[in-house]
Amino acid sequence: MTYKEITVSSNNVFVGVTAGRRIRALLLMAGIDVASAVLFDAVTQVAPTVATLKVPANDSKPMFFPGDQGLELNKGFSVTLSGTSPKLYVYYD
């Protein structure tokens, strides 16, 4: 399994994760205020939305996609992050 860290300052398009990949888990870590992440099965933040996470300040929240399927990407992956210094870890294969 591989992971990628995404921050507000990084490119929100998840380079290297393309159609046919499977996301196994997400971990959103908030900074000094509430953080949110909206994930898209697309190379731009338009549609369709496949998951949404929201975390209180100074906290973290995991989301798991168990089983053989995981969260399969059909078009690609992109994310919109909000908050002060949030980090999103995406675990995929």
| Domain range annotation of the chain | 2-92
Distance CA 22, CA 11 (A): 20
**Cα dihedral: 26, 57, 50, 20 (round 10):** -30
| Confidence category of residue 1, pLDDT binned at 50, 70, 90 | confident
> pLDDT of 30-65, one tens digit each?
999 999 999 888 777 777 888 999 999 999 999 999
- List the beta bridge partners of residue 73: none
With a cut of 60, say whether residue 16 has pLDDT above it: no
- Classified as helix, coil or strand, 33 is coil
Tell me the pLDDT band of 9, cut-offs 50, 70 and 90.
Answer: low
Separation of alpha carbons 23 and 93, rounded Å:
7
Q: Could you tell me the fold of the domain covering 2-92?
A: Jelly Rolls (2.60.120)
